[in-house]
Homo-oligomer: A and B are copies of this chain.
Amino acid sequence: MTTRQSPATFTIADYELAAEERMSEDARSYIGGGAGGEITLRDNEAAWQRLALRPRSLGAPDGVDTRVQLLGLPRPHPILIAPTAFARLTHPDGEIGIARAAAATSTIMCLSTFASVNAAALADEVPGATRWFQLYVFSDRGVTRELVSAAAAHGYEALVVTVDRPVLGIRERELRAALREAEALGDDRPIDTSAVIDSHLRWSDIEQLAADSPLPLLIKGVLTAEDARLAAEHGAAGVIVSNHGGRQLDSVLAGADALPEVVDAVGDRLDVLVDGGIRRGTDVVKALALGARSVLIGRPPLWGLAVDGSTGARRVLEILLTELENALTLVGAPRTADLDRSFLTAAPWPAGAQ
């Protein structure tokens, strides 16, 4: 199958470029766009480049080990697939294809509430993938409970509760492409996401959810120490530092910049993860050195999917894992747990959103 992969796709950036050539205008706008002036969207990638690495020579003579502890369990590496809606927009393989890529690379897949496929179907199709379930709390708590039960029943190992979407951010590319989420759903899930998500959620609701849930809860969408402490106080097992891929409120901090204060506030009590702009193995090393237990990537697997279906998604994960091993070796940290902030310094070079 020589046509499957272009010879130019050595990096995730290569996949982004190739994907943009293949995706429809609608898919490109939906996946690529951010809120407002897209300052945060652009800065998500740039923020990692504002950190420089301080490598130690001869520091990993016994080779590297990418394993991490996550929610008390050993995992082979610190990369997860972030929940993203409607993967079938980019390729018919959709979430099933991504899950196969995840299974092939021992990557945890977080399935979105608004995936093109439901939790049960994905579990049936790709039982080998380790799965977490991303939950939007619905105004209808009965539906919410059903979603949680289904996830637990089908072997999902954690709930990722998104808290930064009381209303939809103003995403101009989508407006310009005249794309509405409801349309994107097509016939499969003819729902208006904003109509069903509870926009009046309180921390007490989170506490109730945690108490009722058979699965550990991670709170996704935390950008401040204040919110991280509230998450800890209301029963969360972890927090995901995230700005929703720059799609909700523009000009908030990138994950790389918000991560330190969250780790400092709750890193001794909760697992802290981060997403946003991770495109290189060195980005993963920096996130771990700042104190994250793992990272999530959202757009990269979709780019892989757009280029080559499940194979492309897997290739994206393989590239990132290869880069991670290389970076760990060269930075001289034999085990991920050896990384700390002494491996980092503020980059003296300018790098930014614009």
Contacts and interface: CB of A to CB of B under 8 A. Distances in A.
Interface in A167-191: 167, 169-170, 172, 175-176
A206 interface: yes
Interface in A19-56: 36-37, 39, 42-43, 46-47, 49-56
Given A52-B253, A169-B326, A222-B57, A62 B200 contact: yes
A205 B52 CA distance: 28
Contacts of A331: 249
Q: At the interface, is chain A mostly helix, strand, loop or mixed? A: loop
A201 interface: yes
B37 A223 contact: no
A281 to B, nearest CB: 8
- For chain A, the bracket of interface size reads 35 or more
Contacts of A55: 164, 223-224, 249, 252
Given A37-B280, A57-B222, A330-B169, A52 B351 contact: no
Interface in A145-176: 163-164, 166-167, 169-170, 172, 175-176
Contacts of A128: none
Nearest to A8: B176
A345 interface: yes
A294 interface: no
A210 interface: no
Contacts of A62: 200
Nearest to A331: B249
Interface of A: 8, 10-11, 13, 36-37, 39, 42-43, 46-47, 49-58, 60-63, 163-164, 166-167, 169-170, 172, 175-176, 199-203, 205-206, 219, 221-224, 226-227, 230, 248-254, 257, 280, 282, 286, 322-323, 326-327, 329-331, 342, 345, 347-354
